[in-house]
Amino acid sequence: MSDERDEIRARVDIVELVGASVRLERKGKSYKGLCPFHADKTPSFDVSPDTGRYTCWSCGEKGDIFTWVMKTQNVEFPEAMRILAKMANVTLKEGLRGQDSSQREMHHAAMAEAQAFFREQFSRSEVARAYCSRRGLPDAILEAWGVGYSPEGGEALTARLKRKGLSLAECKALFLVDQDAGGGFYDKFRGRLMFPIWNEKGELVAFGGRILGQGNPKYINSSDTPLYRKSRVLYGMNRAKDQLQKSRRAVLVEGYLDVIACHRAGVTSALASLGTSLSEEHAKLLKRWVEEVVILYDSDAAGQKAADRASRILAGEGLRVRIALMPDGEDPDTLLGTSGPEAVVAAVERGLKPMEYRVQALERAIPKEDPRFWVDVLPILAEAPSEMELDSLIVRLAHQYPGVTDVIRAQKSLRNDVLRARGAKPSAAPEHSESRPLPRPKPPSIRKRLTSSEVVLLRAFTDEQHRKSGWLFVSHPELFSSELAVRLATSIKDAFGSEPPTGPPAHWLHRIEPEELQGTFEELIADARGDLLSESVIVDAVQKLQQEMEQRNINNAMAKEMSAAERQQLLNRMKEMKPDKHKKPPTDGLF
């Protein structure tokens, strides 16, 4: 696979790739632009054709062509590999193609056939059309979302799939049909309104069916199949993803019709988990697209419990969370019908921070006059993610704190209670606005971490014209004195063994480990001290480093116990240590 990666790197120009979506201007050896990963106002985003990498010096995002595709197209590495391979006209080995293409095509053909069947049956079903009419769903919406119907019969879809020459065993694996004890096949979905489920790439991967009339279960959803993992797909993602990228905010609701209602109301970032409560994998998927999630669940006890659980999972992935429960007895679909789209939008905007939401939920359940309220509120306040948020809640609650009439004393008493509930004092670190990420600490610049001589030799290694000379010395870490230069030289030696790499750094830099050193090489190549490379400059740098190494050896020896004669011999060697600029540095017997 590494050979294929190298071939893709050699054929894909990172400036061209990134420049397709970011306006870049050449500045010296690199290209600069506004960072697409944060609200950049001054160009802090560098793309280096020499190293084949991009770096934002403000928010810290960095990577190569594979990272770029993964982050901008929200895909995992295997899919990024396939996208770039197609772009570079590179044929991947069979193992990297994933599922056998003919089988995958058959699976997609079966899903498409089922969807066509469900749509046809919907147009013929008075029951299904009457139900949607009562729910206020116009034909254009039903068509746009592909809503269909599975008839009561039991074998109509099965017969159609069989006529089309599709394997019923494979269709069973896709959750389209099932099998009885005698081995016969029958339709999995019967008498249900059908909701097709597309993944973020727009592929039809599953179905959900809502029963029409009485009966249980109310919903049947596809189980995991060769095309579908329910913990990794969110309903509506295929239609919401453009808005998610623009707003960086998602609205999470409970069901299919809730998603459709939100989109009809103009809340086009609405999504829902499918037949399962929100999972950590769902949260990871959302993290790839957005920075904030508004939870818009029903206001009943089950909805409140689910919202609280979902908020903890989302916050655990580093997402900002707001909880905005529906008005009593309403869901987005009914609210849209009774009060119009403005009411749905207003419900979304009423979102509270999770801590405020939990306190308000407790206030609704237990009056503040009841001592149990003050017992139950302490563990909630103890979980406050910042002192600023804790202070805000304490100020709001303190005027009703029992037994203390002075508000300032009440605030102090309540804070002490919270500290006891925590079992530790809160951090005295300064607070930061939650709307802005904490600045990433930057290491000292290359200029402060490498000497000029070290820069020259390391730069010579990255330059194709001077690599032979650079390689001769950078493969000996003991020549260098600074910690960073030793790390860089050691990483070069570990990555390439006894033979130097060929081609520009963009073709081989990914072999340097750890990855953080790849970014260091980018900064190194941009260092102006290495721009005027020549054989004489390299000789000067080598002689200076050899002299410094000899001095280190002498200092180490002087620190040890030795005779007066041995010490005098070392002092004489120190006097003789003067570089000869007309003489090439020795390479034999030195290391």
Residues 6+ apart with CB under 8 A from 210: 192, 193, 195, 218, 219, 256
Q: Within this chain, do residues 128 and 18 fall inside the same structural domain, yes or no?
A: no
Q: Are residues 391 and 296 in the same domain?
A: no
CA distance 117 to 164: 12
Cβ(359)–Cβ(393) below 8 Å: yes
Give dist(CA 319, CA 333) in Å, integer. 27
**Per-residue pLDDT, 172:** 95
Q: What is the DSSP annotation of 297-348?
A: --SSHHHHHHHHHHHHHHHHTT-EEEE-PPPTT--HHHHHHHH-HHHHHHHH
CATH code, domain carrying 128: 3.90.980.10
Question: Which CATH number characterizes residue 345's domain?
Answer: 3.40.1360.10
Please answer whether residues 522 and 53 qualify as being in contact, where contact means their C-beta atoms are separated by less than 8 angstroms: yes
- 248 shares a domain with 288: yes
Q: What is the CATH number of the domain that holds 469?
A: 1.10.860
Final residue before a domain boundary, out of 64, 96, 128: 96
Asked if residue 177 and residue 265 are part of one domain, the reply reads no
Asked which of 228, 249, 271 is the last residue of a domain, the reply is 228
- Distance of CA 384 to CAs 36, 173, 315, 359, Å? 31, 46, 12, 11
Residues 278 and 395 in one domain: no
Q: Both 120 and 91 in a single domain?
A: no
**CA-to-CA distance for 152 and 166, rounded, in angstroms?**
22
Does residue 523 sit within a domain? yes
Q: One-letter amino acid identity for 93?
A: K
CB 332 within 8 A of CB 252: no
- The pLDDT of residue 432 is 40
Three-state DSSP class for residue 54: strand
The CATH number that applies at residue 86 is 3.90.580.10
* Sheet hosting strand 25-27, strand order edge to edge: 25-27, 30-33, 45-48, 53-56, 62-63
Amino acid at 393: L
DSSP state of 235: B
Pair 277, 234: CB distance under 8 Å: no
Euclidean distance between CA atoms 359 and 400, whole angstroms: 14
At 220, which helix (H) or strand (E)? strand 219-221
Q: Do 483 and 394 belong together in one domain?
A: no
In a shared domain, residues 20 and 59? yes
211, 240 contact by CB (below 8 A): no
Q: Are 544 and 463 in contact (CB under 8 A)?
A: no
CA atoms within 13 A on the CB side of 121: 23
CA pair distance 168, 160, nearest whole angstrom: 10
Does residue 534 share a domain with residue 494? Answer: yes
Q: Is residue 388 situated within a structural domain?
A: yes
Distance (Å, whole) CA 303 – CA 540: 73
Residues of the chain with pLDDT under 50: 1, 96-99, 425-442, 577, 579, 581, 588-591
The pTM (predicted TM-score) of the whole model is 0.60
211 and 247 share one domain: no
Q: How far is CA 206 from CA 171, 270, 578, in A?
A: 12, 19, 77
Taking a C-beta distance cutoff of 8 angstroms, is the pair 289, 244 a contact?
Answer: yes
Same domain, 344 and 378: no
DSSP 442: P
The DSSP H or E segment spanning 153 is: none
Which among 446, 468, 415, 457 has a CA at the least distance from the CA of 541? Answer: 457
Q: How many CA atoms lie within 13 A of 243 on its CB side?
A: 17
Whether 295 and 239 map to the same domain: the answer is yes
Residue 436 within a domain:
no
Does any domain span residue 493? yes
Give domain status of residue 198, yes or no.
yes
Q: What is the pLDDT of residue 47?
A: 93
Element (H, E) at 562: none
Q: Residue 92 sits in which domain range?
A: 2-96
- Contact (CB, 8 A) for 150 and 178: no
The whole-angstrom separation of Cα 396 and Cα 384 is: 14
Please indicate, yes or no, if residue 582 is contained in any of the structural domains: no
Is 430 within a domain?
Answer: no
Instruction: Provide the domain count of the chain.
Output: 5
CA separation for the pair 359, 352 (Å, rounded):
10
Pair 437, 38: CB distance under 8 Å: yes
Which of 228, 258, 291 is the last residue in one of the domains? 228
Distance CA 30, CA 13 (A): 13
Query: Within a domain: residue 410?
Result: yes
Question: What's the pLDDT at 567?
Answer: 59
